[in-house]
Amino acid sequence: MPIPVQTLKIYEMTRLDHAIMKFAKIETPAISDILAVKCMAQIEEGIDLYRACATEMSQADLKAEEHNSQNWLNIWQTQTILALHQLMRVIVMQLFQVRTNEPRNNEPLWPGA
């Protein structure tokens, strides 16, 4: 039995559905393309978790809910620093073509270091 081409109308789709469609249209996808889909999936998961918790809250609770900017700032800075560290590690490994199975990995990059 053939799979339907599109089961949702364009206005019924989530951000994740749009990201998947965009990814499917790319002829030669890169790692960054799949990471964009992964990122959108994580965002949608967070939104869904918030919505699930919000269904159990009353209107008064929702209005009284405080926005803690400092907490969000700390979370954002921590995640950004970790992501930049991982990105820099990949860039350095690409620049120096470091291979994990080479026995000379512990040698210094230049003589006398």
Question: How much is the average pLDDT of 31-54?
Answer: 88
Q: What pLDDT was estimated at residue 97? A: 63
Residue the block writes with tokens 């512990």: 106
CB atoms within 10 A of CB 40: 19
Q: pLDDT tens digit string along 67-101? A: 777 777 777 788 888 788 778 877 777 766 655 55
Domain layout of the chain by residue ranges:
1-65, 66-103
Q: pLDDT tens digit string along 59-74? A: 888 777 777 777 777 7
Q: What pLDDT was estimated at residue 4? A: 62
Q: Rounded to two decimals, what is the model's pTM?
A: 0.49
Q: CB–CB of 12/40 below 8 Å? A: no
Q: Is 64 helix (H, G, I), strand (E, B) or coil?
A: helix
Q: Is 72 helix (H, G, I), strand (E, B) or coil?
A: helix
